[in-house]
Amino acid sequence: MAAWQTLMVSTPGLALVAPMAAGALAILRWGISRHDAQFAKRKEFLQNWKDPDALDDLSIEVLVRQLTGTYLPALLVRRVCRRKRSEITKTLMSLATIWSLVDWHSDSGTASWKKSARSHPVRFAKGLLLTMAYFSLGTLGATALTFVILKQPAMIIAFGSAAWGLLLIGLAFAALWTAEPWETAAKSSDALLDLANDETPLFDLKCTSCTLQSQT
């Protein structure tokens, strides 16, 4: 303990970064606990899911939210499940990922891109820029924290550098989170929405693949 205290006093940068690192570790543990909770929800989904034509709309939407984390319209879910040879779980997860970029028209039962996402080049560009921002901001943030630890600057400089480092890393993860729907939308082009709007009667009424092919 005495050696640790001596190290902290002799290394002001480390004394500043250490509690911040402890906070980051707490956030990591919180993220792991959320992952475990999501796994439990998906397990409950598998236990309660059955033929979607035997479930009411509310049950479908709540159960699918347990699987994907997003409320998807029951009509859309039934369409996806009724299509043979389709990757049910992957399709639902992809639709959930891009759902913030989609307008659902309940009167006609169709989905369309929001105005900001209608152009494929725009979707691709936004996904690429946000991914680049993630790497750039993350690198700058890590560099700032490394500077504090290795160079041991004066306390005021160390505090400012550490604060900026943590802010940049936080912005990097925000960019990564925001990039995911744009990247998925760019990769799928219009295929996902075409599938969501397709009422071609390729029926598999039992929809056993919804559970048996689950990738959870």
| Residue 2 belongs to some domain of the structure | no
Model pLDDT, residue 84: 67
Name the token pair of 84. Answer: 């043979």
Model pLDDT, residue 113: 94
| Residue 3 belongs to some domain of the structure | no
CA-only gyration radius of the chain, Å: 23
The pTM for the full model equals: 0.72
Counting every residue written for the chain, the total comes to: 216
Cα gap 8→61, rounded to integer Å: 53
Model pLDDT, residue 20: 66
| Residue 156 belongs to some domain of the structure | yes
| Residue 137 belongs to some domain of the structure | yes
Domain containing 144 equals 12-212
Q: How many domains does the chain have?
A: 1
* Residue 45 CA: distances (Å) to CA of 74, 109, 205: 15, 25, 18
- Point out which residues pair with 113 in neighbouring strands: 102
Q: What residue has token string 């092919």?
A: 213
Cα gap 46→63, rounded to integer Å: 9
> Residue 104: which residues within 8 A CB-CB, separation 6 or more?
73, 76, 110, 111
Model pLDDT, residue 88: 84
Helix (H) or strand (E) holding 102: strand 102-105
Name the token pair of 52. Answer: 């979607």
| Residue 5 belongs to some domain of the structure | no
| Residue 146 belongs to some domain of the structure | yes
| Residue 92 belongs to some domain of the structure | yes
| Residue 6 belongs to some domain of the structure | no
pLDDT digit string (tens) for the chain, length 216 residues: 555 455 444 555 555 656 666 766 777 776 666 665 666 777 777 777 777 778 889 989 988 888 888 999 999 998 888 876 567 888 899 999 999 999 999 888 899 999 999 999 999 999 999 999 999 999 999 999 888 878 777 878 888 888 898 899 989 999 999 999 999 999 987 888 888 888 765 444 444 444 434 444
